[in-house]
């Protein structure tokens, strides 16, 4: 069994609440020992046990790898022109998804996987060590199945999003498309998907359709998550809580009843600052959710339409500046919050027994993630496998 010490850590974000060192459980002048890819010891730099190898981080900051619980990485083409039109005043609408569906259907398997791997590499270099990805740009049985087959080669967190939008060929008969999603499409993807998701919003699927589709997924063993209240105040958040979804994502709009429902539930509110940024939507008040006791995650929502970024540091900076989060709350939400949104208990914190998924940050504290917006501060990202 290989043991590696990470020494000379100026600031260590553990997220370990039992240390009673504030929200981030920050230790100064510390060290970590990793054995066989798992954290085996955390303590003072002066007391580090002997190990096979060691890495000196020269006083920099170490924090848990980011957990990106919401991304759409299986697609082809780009929509830069649509983004540019929005920045000159045009509104965002769910219908833009169809542009990417056409490009994705036309792509070969190799093209689709190459684009996916390019984005995964970007994520790793921005500190993401666990990521979720969805299908949703194929919208035929074959195209959804191949997207999830390719996705599952590179992450365990795969989500079937056949109910992203009704594809053009079903415009006049949306009920037939819902039946296809719940039936043959679901059967063909069930082996390579862990989660099922529905875009429950204006221009996409209704609450009733979303409930039917999510329950059909549950019946074949998939776990539930939902795109809720991105484009308007609706019933998506209430549905998420009713069905015990792991997460209600976007929550751009919410009211007091939504806050109360989330606060008394196991459903995480996943906020996606990149989406409000790229669609010029009004930012939700993250602090309001947090203060009410709602568990909040921050994720990238990386997709070619509404949020073409793989950068969690960018998302953290926007959440702090425009969603009223403290820097600590934003960092917690992008690590522990993401882990909770994926119902994972092996990532998001640095304590004994956890996966050694780590970021070595070129800064004296993690506060610099928001304090130095747009600057790449990641010196190195380590995943548990790198230590084996």
DSSP state of 19: G
| 45: three-class secondary structure by DSSP | helix
- If DSSP states are collapsed to H, E and C, what string results for 165-191? CCCHHHCCCHHHHHHHHHHHHHHHHCC
Contacting ligand NIG (CB under 6 A), which of 57, 275, 339, 366?
275
Helix axes 97-106, 141-152, angle to 10 degrees: 80
Q: How far apart are CA 225 and CA 341, in angstroms?
A: 9
131 lies in the binding site for ligand NIG (CB under 6 A): no
Nearest alpha-carbon partner for 348 in 17, 34, 71: 17
Burial of 110 per CB tally in 10 Å (0-12, 13-18, 19+): exposed
Binding region for ligand NIG (CB under 6 A) out of 93-101, 179-187, 313-321, 347-355? 93-101
**Nearest CB to Fe ion, comparing residues 314 and 387:** 314
Rounded Cα distance, 19 and 8, in Å? 20
100 binds, among Fe ion, ligand NIG, none (CB under 5 to 8 A by kind): ligand NIG
Helix, coil or strand: residue 71: strand
Which of ligand NIG, Fe ion, none has residue 126 at its interface (CB below 5 to 8 Å by kind)? none
Does position 301 interact with ligand NIG (CB under 6 A)? The reply is yes
**How far apart are CB 371 and ligand NIG at their closest, in Å?**
28
Listed ranges 95-103, 283-291, 352-360, 377-385: which one lies at the site for ligand NIG (CB under 6 A)? 95-103
Residue span 182-211 as binding mask against ligand NIG, x where in contact by CB under 6 A, dash where not: -----------------x------------
Residue nearest to ligand NIG (CB): 305
Q: Which C-beta is closer to Fe ion: that of 68 or that of 301?
A: 301
Pick one of Fe ion, ligand NIG, none as the site partner of residue 230 (Cβ within 5 to 8 A by kind).
ligand NIG
- Scanning 7-15, 43-51, 213-221, 303-311 for contacts with ligand NIG by CB under 6 A, the matching segment is 303-311
* C-beta of 306 vs 384, nearer to Fe ion: 306
- Cα-Cα-Cα-Cα torsion 298, 119, 191, 94, nearest 10 degrees, comes to 60
Rg (CA), the chain: 21
Residues 56-85 that bind ligand NIG (CB under 6 A): 72
- 319 touches ligand NIG (CB under 6 A): no
Residue 284 binds to ligand NIG (criterion: CB under 6 A): no
**Can you tell me whether residue 147 is helix, strand or coil?**
helix
Cβ neighbours for 318, distance < 8 A, ≥ 6 positions apart: 273, 274, 276, 277, 283
Per-position x/- string for 216-245, each x denoting binding to ligand NIG as judged by CB under 6 A, each - no binding: -----------x--x---------------
What does the binding site for Fe ion look like in residue numbers (CB under 5 A)? 301
**Distance from C-alpha of 51 to C-alpha of 3, rounded to nearest angstrom:** 5
297 binds, among Fe ion, ligand NIG, none (CB under 5 to 8 A by kind): none
Q: If you search the block for the tokens 């589709």, which residue do you land on?
A: 213
Q: Is 147 in the site for ligand NIG (CB under 6 A)?
A: no
Binding status of residue 384 toward ligand NIG by CB under 6 A: no
Structure token pair of residue 63? 């924090």
Residue 278 CB, nearest approach to Fe ion (Å): 12
Length of the chain: 388
Piece of 52-60, 233-241, 301-309, 356-364 that binds ligand NIG (CB under 6 A)? 301-309
Task: Name the segment binding ligand NIG (CB under 6 A); options: 183-191, 261-269, 302-310, 378-386.
Answer: 302-310
- Based on the shown chain and the rule CB under 6 A, indicate whether residue 143 belongs to the binding site for ligand NIG: no
Q: Which among 156, 138, 155 has a CA at the least distance from the CA of 147?
A: 138
Q: What is the residue whose two structure tokens read 């609440």?
A: 17
**Size of residue set near ligand NIG by CB under 6 A:** 14
Q: Which residues contact 215 (CB under 8 A, 6 or more apart)?
A: 243
Binding footprint of ligand NIG on the chain (CB under 6 A) = 72, 96-97, 100, 199, 227, 230, 275, 301, 303-307
């Amino acid at each position: 069994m290989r043991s590696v010490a990470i020494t000379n850590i100026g600031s260590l974000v553990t997220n370990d609440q039992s240390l009673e060192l504030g929200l981030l459980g920050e230790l100064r002048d510390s060290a970590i020992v990793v054995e066989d890819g798992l954290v085996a010891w955390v303590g003072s730099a002066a007391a580090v046990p002997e190990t096979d190898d060691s890495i000196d981080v020269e006083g920099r900051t170490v924090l848990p790898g980011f957990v990106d619980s919401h991304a759409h990485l299986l697609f082809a083409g780009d929509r830069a022109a649509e983004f540019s039109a929005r920045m000159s005043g045009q509104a965002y609408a769910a219908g833009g998804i169809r542009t990417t569906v056409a490009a994705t259907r036309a792509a070969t398997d190799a093209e689709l996987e190459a684009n996916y791997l390019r984005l995964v590499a970007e994520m790793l270099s921005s500190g993401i060590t666990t990521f979720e990805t969805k299908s949703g740009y194929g919208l035929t049985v074959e195209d959804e199945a191949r997207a999830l087959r390719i996705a599952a080669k590179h992450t365990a967190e795969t989500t079937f999003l056949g109910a992203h939008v009704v594809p053009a060929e079903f415009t006049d008969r949306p009920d037939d498309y819902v039946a296809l999603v719940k039936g043959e499409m679901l059967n063909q993807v069930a082996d390579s998907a862990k989660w099922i998701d529905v875009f429950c919003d204006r221009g996409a699927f209704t609450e009733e359709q979303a409930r039917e589709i999510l329950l059909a997924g549950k019946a074949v063993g998939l776990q539930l998550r939902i795109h809720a209240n991105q484009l308007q105040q609706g019933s998506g958040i209430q549905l998420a809580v009713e069905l015990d979804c792991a997460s209600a994502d976007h929550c751009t709009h919410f009211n007091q009843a939504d806050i109360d429902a989330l606060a008394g539930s196991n459903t995480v509110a996943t906020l996606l600052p990149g989406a409000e940024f790229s669609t010029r939507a009004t930012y939700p008040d993250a602090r309001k959710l947090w203060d009410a006791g709602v568990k909040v995650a921050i994720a990238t929502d990386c997709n070619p339409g509404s949020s073409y970024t793989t950068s969690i540091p960018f998302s953290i900076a926007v959440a702090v500046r425009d969603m009223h989060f403290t820097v600590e709350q934003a960092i917690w939400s992008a690590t522990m919050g993401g882990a909770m949104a994926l119902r994972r208990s092996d990532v998001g914190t640095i304590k004994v027994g956890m996966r050694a998924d780590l970021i070595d940050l070129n800064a004296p504290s993690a506060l610099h993630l928001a304090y130095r917006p747009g600057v790449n501060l990641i010196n190195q990202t380590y995943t548990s496998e790198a230590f084996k």
